[in-house]
Chain A
Amino acid sequence: MGVSSRTETAIGMAYATTFVMTLASLLSYLVNTYILAPLGLEYLTTMAFILVIAVVVQFTEMVVHKTSANLYRLLGIFLPLITTNCAVLGVALLNIYEQHNFFESIIYGFGASAGFSLVLIMFSAMRERLANADIPSPFKGSAIAMITAGLMSLAFMGFTGLVKF
């Protein structure tokens, strides 16, 4: 919501999230396989992963701040908020759940974030177009964005059954 009002920020966010997700699934795999599993501490995965994600996000924030101060400013609070993006933790946990190996984990994390990025960027392009639309005032801003998201999910229903597990 916060970053999807302009394509520019959405693309920045997409990069950041992709980076975080891929790195997080990599690290969480390592942590799980080489630290937690040997010690029989699997019940700590969630906690450890949150730690991992927080660290990766912090790291990303620093990198972004260094490399692109402009993007850093545009993303603002939303950059650290990647931490709370459930998808990141979800991917990390699913990796364990589905018992992916090292490369599968990375690919899975990358794929999930690529999908997230695609939708985010598409959504932002739509919102940019909507910014100029003559929307009734009660629906301006977030309201119409939510409706749009709803309609988008309708469209994505078309992929039902496309993926065979």
Chain B
Amino acid sequence: MESIINRIDKNQFWKFHGGIHPPEQKFITENKPIRTLPLPKELILPLQQHIGQAGDLLVSVGDTVLKGQPLTSSAHPMAVPIHAPTSGKITAIKDSTIAHPSALKEPCLFIEPDGNDTWVKRNICNDYTKQSDSDLLQKISDAGISGMGGAGFPTYVKANTSAKIEFLIINAAECEPYITADDLLMKEHSPTIVDGINILHQIIKPENVLIGIEDNKPAAIKALQNATKNLDHIRVCIIPTKYPSGGEKQLIQILTGKEIPSGAIPSSQGIVMQNTATCFAIADAVINDIPLIRRVTTVTGLGLNKPQNVWALLGTPVNFLLEQCELHPHDKQRIIMGGPMMGFTLPSGNVPVVKITNCVLAPSAKEISDESTEVECIRCGQCADVCPAQLLPQELQWSAKAKDHQQLETLNLFDCIECGACAYVCPSHIPLVHYYRIGKAEIREHKQQEIKADKAKIRFEARKLRLERDKKAREEKQRKAAEARKAKMNSGTVEANNEMSAVAAALARVKAKKAQTSDTTSQDSTTEAAAKPKNPQIAAAIARAKAKKLANQVTDNSDITAEVDKTVEAKVENETPTENTADDKKSKVAAAIAKAKAKKLAKEQADEKTDVQNEITEETAVNDVSEADSKKAKIAATIAKAKAKKLAKEQVDEKTDDQNEIKEETTVNDVSEADSKKAKIAATIAKAKAKKLAKEQVDEKTDDQNEIIEETSVNDVSEADSKKAKIAATIAKAKAKKLAKEQEAEKSDNSQPDVEDTKAAEKKKRIAEAVAKAKAKKQQRLELN
């Protein structure tokens, strides 16, 4: 480690990557002394002026405060108080624009100075060396000192490090152009600064104290060297001027050659860094008991007639400073708080000076031109050359524009110190830093959301568990209560008997009711949901139940039973096609069944069914049919008696399908005509159905079919050329015959009840096939047309 000191003594320093040399412009203010300003009319004190937490208010509107009186306090470790910069009256506590790039409003205290500048009782301490570390720390904390370089980190937290500190570095680099606040402070108050350094030295006990100062401040260097002449442990290190050598990480690298690992704080490497202005404030606070109520602020820029460093009371509105320095604004005047590289523009002059305000810059139009237009990146790589963090700004830029957060993190966006060197050199004038800031804010927001989501998830799961537990507990309780009652009943007392009989009565009632309802809801319990008549499916279920009831009433008549079964089936089929098409029909069916007139019902069903079948032919896929199959099968299982008849009816279904198919084969004209024909067929079938009895189906059906075929072919003749129609008719006839044969064969199969189910399935499959075939054909025809 000696080697580091040796190198420093030889004035050999390390270099950080990149860096730029923007025009310094320090000449504007560096030769003018620090000016003391008159009291402004109003002071605006934001409650929070540092990183961390705002304190709790100690005063209220209307109170009179004295200079140096604490206005807030907090037990929070990251909070430091604010103090009244002068004596006066608190006129308001309200939200006001704060010194932050966002120009958001936060709670601020408004103080109207009374002009007397009366101090609170001060406790001046002449010999700080006799005080204990904790006393000193307490003093620094009570004085409200936080880092005055830029970030505003509470100083006592930094000073109160338990780690062994090798280097205490005093940052006097002041690398930003324009700013000379620290420079002037060092020129004029070097002894006080050195006192502050000594206090810190006493608290932190570092092995070495290094003051890093850029070589463009010869007067300040001289003043410091004079002040530290007799102090061997303090070394004034004169480093070459280069932006951003004043950055914490950069200065550490220059002076010690060490790098602070990403995400770590310097004290982990045995380094603590403090700003010169902070040192001054520490000395002021410890020795003179002056809390942090004023600071040196550079008011500069060629837009001012009298640019100068001023002692600004915290809370002084920027307007007042600009007035004092005689601003002559131009169009698009910018007021920048901080330097030109890292400062931010203010939306109004009503923003107060706060603990971190080291500069207020009012440039003329010539100095800092307005927004130059951004052009495309040409990957020249100059940004990467100047980046002090050795990032790849151009790649970051692509990813930031594309909002590729993952890639941004891979490229270590969060190691960007936002020094602005990349944007400064960019020949395409891309506001790189702005993109990074947006990217950073987005990623941060995102992480926040993720944390929140995790929390929500945990809470949700916890709630679910709790609800479940509660439910169980409730059940348990009920069970226990019931048991208790039972025990009581069994105990044989009169009351118990009474109770028992009551319970028994109630049970009996329930049973009776159940018995009543059990007939109607024998196969499923969907009637429970009867309260929701809107749901078509449930309506269908109710209807089904009603139909069943109906069936029970007229049990003798097997024919009607068959019909009713068909109703059920029709409904089931209704459910299978896409719901929106079927909804109407279902409700219709439901209504119809509610009337419970068997004949009407039968007719309606027939129509319905044919419609549905047509629909299936036209739009539903094969699997719909198979779905219908499974439901059918279920019903079939429960209504075993009606099975044979149902199967017979299914033959009708098949027939209808086939008829449709035939018709489609023979029809060469358009769909609307086909529809009308279908309707006709449907009517015929309905008639046929009404007539038919279970055993004479086959013959009759064949007849009917033939009739239909005749009909359709006649229709066709009138429209299409007769030859085609004839051929079609012949084919149709042949098919019908074949069909009849098939049906006969199937019927014989039906006599074997054991294979019923498989047969039925087979048949259904065939129906599905037929449907598919018909569909394909129809499509083909449409295409041909």
Contacts and interface: CB of A to CB of B under 8 A. Distances in A.
- Do A and B interact directly, with beta carbons closer than 8 Å? yes
Interface of A: 129, 131-132, 134
A132 B376 contact: no
Interface residues of B, number: 6
Nearest to A133: B398
A30 B170 CA distance: 75
| Top-3 shortest CB links A-B | A132-B398, A132-B402, A132-B401
Contacts, number: 8
B399 A134 contact: no
Nearest to A131: B402
A131 B402 CA distance: 8
A132 B407 CA distance: 12
B378 to A, nearest CB: 13
A111 B640 CA distance: 71
Contacts of B398: 129, 132
A53 B268 CA distance: 57
Given A132-B399, A132-B402, 6 more contacts: A129-B398, A131-B402, A132-B398, A132-B401, A132-B404, A134-B376
A7 to B, nearest CB: 11
Contacts of B376: 134
Interface string B395-412: 000110110100000000
A134 B401 CA distance: 11
B296 to A, nearest CB: 45
Contacts of B404: 132
Nearest to A128: B407
Contacts of A134: 376
Contacts of A129: 398
A134 B404 CA distance: 15
8 contacts: A129-B398, A131-B402, A132-B398, A132-B399, A132-B401, A132-B402, A132-B404, A134-B376
Nearest to B400: A132
Contacts of B402: 131-132
Contacts of A131: 402
A140 to B, nearest CB: 13
Residue among A129, A132, A134 facing the most chain B CB atoms (10 A cut-off) = A132
Contacts of B399: 132
Nearest to A134: B376
B680 to A, nearest CB: 51
B438 to A, nearest CB: 16
B436 to A, nearest CB: 15
A41 B311 CA distance: 100
B524 to A, nearest CB: 42
A8 to B, nearest CB: 11
A137 to B, nearest CB: 15
Interface string B354-383: 000000000000000000000010000000
Contacts of B401: 132
A156 to B, nearest CB: 24
A132 B402 CA distance: 6
A61 to B, nearest CB: 27
A131 B398 CA distance: 9
Residue among B398, B399, B401 facing the most chain A CB atoms (10 A cut-off) = B398
A129 B402 CA distance: 11
Nearest to B402: A132
Nearest to A129: B398
A132 B401 CA distance: 8
A64 B401 CA distance: 34
Nearest to B376: A134
B393 to A, nearest CB: 14
A75 to B, nearest CB: 19
A131 B407 CA distance: 12
Nearest to B399: A132
A132 B394 CA distance: 12
B253 to A, nearest CB: 32
B174 to A, nearest CB: 38
A84 B579 CA distance: 41
Interface string B96-132: 0000000000000000000000000000000000000
A129 B407 CA distance: 12
A39 B398 CA distance: 61
A132 B400 CA distance: 10
B405 to A, nearest CB: 14
A70 to B, nearest CB: 14
A143 B376 CA distance: 22
A132 B399 CA distance: 7
Contacts of A132: 398-399, 401-402, 404
A141 to B, nearest CB: 14
A153 B419 CA distance: 43
A129 B395 CA distance: 9
Interface string B284-298: 000000000000000
A86 B401 CA distance: 38
B402 to A, nearest CB: 5
B394 to A, nearest CB: 10
B384 to A, nearest CB: 16
B383 to A, nearest CB: 16
A6 B399 CA distance: 14
Nearest to A132: B398
B511 to A, nearest CB: 57
A131 B404 CA distance: 10
Interface in B731-752: none
A134 B377 CA distance: 11
B392 to A, nearest CB: 13
A134 B378 CA distance: 13
